Amino acid sequence: MRSGGLSLLIGFVAAISSLMLSLGQAFGQTDTLQLNALTQEGDLLLDERTALEPLQQNLVEQGDKLRAEEKSLRAEVQAVNDGINTFNSTMDAFNDDAKAHKAACTEQTKEANDVAACNERAGELRDRAQKLDAERAQLIARQEDINKRVRGFNATSAEFNKRKQEGDAQTSASDRDVQEWLTRVREFFLSSEFKTMSAGVSPIPACDESSIGSLGTARVAQALKQAQTCLKAMQAALR
């Protein structure tokens, strides 16, 4: 009887041990599934960010180039405007001189000296008029050229702004996806299940309290890489 009772007790303990082991394995599998799911999602998000980086870099470079071109164009436009203002002032002075000459040198001028002086002055005015005509033509050409370049710049800027809006929208959508993922990752990191995982492996620097705690303040791209480093390190440690 005693022998039979002992066998029954041993069988009962073995059954309990088997049940506890089974429950432990199921519990661990659930945690591992969550770890793997978050890691796989993190890989996809990293791939998405990697694909966006060349686009964003190109937008930054083109934006810098356009700002430099705009600055240069503004300086040239100002130079043309200054040239026009100077020309107009010179033209006003010429017109005043021409009027004074006309008033002084009328048909009634009789003295030979006065006639000679008037003719000399008329020659000077003709020379000035020719120079002013040439300068006017140059200013018109400069103005037409700068206006053409400004129109081209405006068209390029409009196309750039459209692409930038599209690129910014893609980045914003990616940021939202990453933030939502980071929220779930932080919850996982703070869970008792993750703490149990951590206790069963060698210390992982990327998963220490300081690293996990900084996820909330790090920039989106940095937080993504940082969290993914921890998840992958934990995956490797559990293999």
Q: How far from the centroid of its chain's Cα atoms is residue 226's Cα?
A: 22
Q: How far from the centroid of its chain's Cα atoms is residue 223's Cα?
A: 19
* The pLDDT value given to residue 107: 65
Measure Cα distances from 54 to 28, 159, 162 in Å.
40, 18, 17
C-alpha to C-alpha distance for 177 and 184, rounded to whole angstroms = 11
Higher pLDDT, 31 or 190: 190
Query: Residue 13 pLDDT > 70, yes or no?
Result: no
Query: Residue 116 pLDDT > 90, yes or no?
Result: no
Measure Cα distances from 135 to 110, 125, 148 in Å.
36, 15, 20
Q: How far from the centroid of its chain's Cα atoms is residue 21's Cα?
A: 54
Higher pLDDT, 141 or 16: 141
Question: What is the arithmetic mean of pLDDT over 67-73?
Answer: 97
How sure is the predictor about 114, in pLDDT bands with cuts at 50, 70 and 90?
confident
Measure Cα distances from 124 to 90, 104, 121 in Å.
15, 15, 5
Summarised one tens digit per residue, pLDDT across range 87-111 is 999 999 999 999 999 888 876 556 7
Query: Residue 211 pLDDT > 90, yes or no?
Result: yes
* The pLDDT value given to residue 39: 97
- Asked if 204 contacts 236 with a C-beta cutoff of 8 angstroms, the reply is no
Query: What percent of the residues of the chain are helix, what percent strand, and what percent coil, each to the nearest 5?
Result: 90, 0, 10
Question: What is the arithmetic mean of pLDDT over 172-176?
Answer: 96
Measure Cα distances from 164 to 62, 174, 200 in Å.
10, 15, 48
* The pLDDT value given to residue 103: 87
Measure Cα distances from 37 to 4, 32, 215, 223, 228 in Å.
49, 8, 19, 18, 12
Number of residues that make up the chain: 239
Domain coordinates in residue numbering, the chain:
33-238
Summarised one tens digit per residue, pLDDT across range 30-60 is 678 999 999 999 999 999 999 999 999 999 9
Question: What is the arithmetic mean of pLDDT over 55-67?
Answer: 96
* The pLDDT value given to residue 230: 96
Kindly state the percentage of the chain with pLDDT values over 90: 77
